Amino acid sequence: MRVVDIAATAISSTWRTRLRTGLTVLAVFIGAFALTLTSGMGSGVTRYIDETVAAFGDEKSLYVQKSQPLLELSSGSGPRPYNPQATPIATGFGVSFEGLTAEDITVIEDIEGVAEVKPVYNVAPTYLAAAGAKFQLTLGIPVDSEGLQLVAGAIAAEGHDELAIPDSWVGELGFDSAQEAVGEVVEVVMTNAADQPRAFPATISGVTEASLAGVAMNPIPSSSFNERLYDYQVSGTPAPVAASYIMARAVLEDLDQAPPVQEALEEAGMVGSTVEDQLGMFRAVINAVVWILNVCAVIALLAGSLGIVNTLLMSVQERTREIGLMKALGMSGGKVFTLFSLEAVFIGLLGAVIGAGAAVGAGTYLSRSLADGLLAGLPGLVLFTFQTTTVALIIASVIVIAFLAGTLPAARAAHKDPITALRHE
């Protein structure tokens, strides 16, 4: 009996008891569906976190601050009307810091392992003027512009008086769309030490998406424009004002050098944190949740494999005389084993393909629905992302589990004595 004939016989034998086989396939389907869906969710969320990390900053840098007293969190829901009595000095992270001094920058530069230091000036605009209205303005940090997700346009270019605004600000500033806002001019009003206001025209270079890290919730200027605003902010006094930086980005020669550099910063009264320090907790929590869900899916799959064992054991019992006849006609024990193993594989394949396919369809639909509804506040998040190789690996794993589940019934069938089997009632 050829392998093709054995496979055809296995498939036809599987459907002799349609209800029992159907229920077993359903059990495998549930496991494969759950495992594919949870795997897709893990991939989708991990991808979103990776994109957020890219938007948050350079992974090979330490973001150095003096202190972190919480002042005011940004709501991320758009610009607030300007109130001259309640305008805080805040950073792009939504919190205030004691400024770094020029001496602090020198200390950072002298630490072994630091290749370059890029200080960020502590700029506190008075307000933003646009569409005939005034809005409170907290500028984002220019060093965060690398890797930002953009709806339209580009990040603010060095050497130009430009800033990128959040997508949630577009309508409030009087623009019908993100594309329309690009290239338009708004005014950043600064007040110097002599209490003299001055408007600085700024071109909108692009419109940014919101991100998990919150770094795109405020307009982000170019470094040169940020420095120009700072120069005016400290002007108007007879004596020069000592430079003050809200933070500094220390570019490391090697990311492995981060721990000793962080220790040196602590000794100098500063705190340095990497991107992973900022977002590592999100990644750890999400990975833990996904693993728990995957374990639940695997348990469901193992329950389905027990169904395969039960189905085939009953099939062997019911077909004892048939097995005896096949062996009496010269069919070897190995081929009998192959026959029943292929039945198990066919059940696993059927449940795996249908389950994985249904999970991909359901996940794709849910991703679109949630993106327009519950998760609309997280632009760019595709909750379920399915990779062909991952789905194929899940299907292959289910088939292997089904094969292993079928080995016990198949071995029992292969070892039956043909004479005893033919006498079976």
- Residue-wise pLDDT for 331-353, tens only, equals 888 888 888 889 889 999 999 99
Pair 241, 313 in one domain: no
Q: For residues 159 and 287, is the Cβ–Cβ distance under 8 A?
A: no
Pair 212, 359 in one domain: no
CA dihedral 318, 323, 324, 326 (to 10 degrees): 150
Pair 142, 113 in one domain: yes
The residues that bridge with 303 in the sheet, in sequence order, are: none
Pair 101, 234 in one domain: yes
* pTM of structure: 0.61
Spatial separation of the C-alpha atoms in residues 423 and 376, rounded to whole Å = 69
Spatial separation of the C-alpha atoms in residues 139 and 227, rounded to whole Å = 12
Pair 108, 10 in one domain: no
Crossing angle of helices 333-372/320-328, nearest 10°?
Answer: 130
Q: What is the pLDDT of residue 399?
A: 92
Domain region containing 312: 3-52+282-422
In whole numbers, what is the pLDDT of the chain averaged over residues?
Answer: 81
pLDDT digits (tens, 9 = 90+) for 192-204: 988 999 999 999 9
Q: What is the pLDDT of residue 178?
A: 92
Spatial separation of the C-alpha atoms in residues 402 and 147, rounded to whole Å = 45
Q: What are phi and psi of 316, to 5 degrees?
A: -65, -40
Which H/E stretch holds residue 368? helix 333-372
Pair 170, 313 in one domain: no
pLDDT digits (tens, 9 = 90+) for 62-99: 888 875 544 444 445 567 676 665 444 333 333 444 67
Query: Which residue, 273, 291, 321, sits at the end of a domain?
Result: 273
Q: For residues 367 and 351, is the Cβ–Cβ distance under 8 A?
A: no
Pair 132, 212 in one domain: yes
Pair 110, 219 in one domain: yes
Spatial separation of the C-alpha atoms in residues 141 and 54, rounded to whole Å = 15
Please tell me the total count of domains within the chain.
2
Pair 222, 299 in one domain: no
Pair 248, 314 in one domain: no
Q: What is the pLDDT of residue 55?
A: 57
Which H/E stretch holds residue 62? strand 61-65
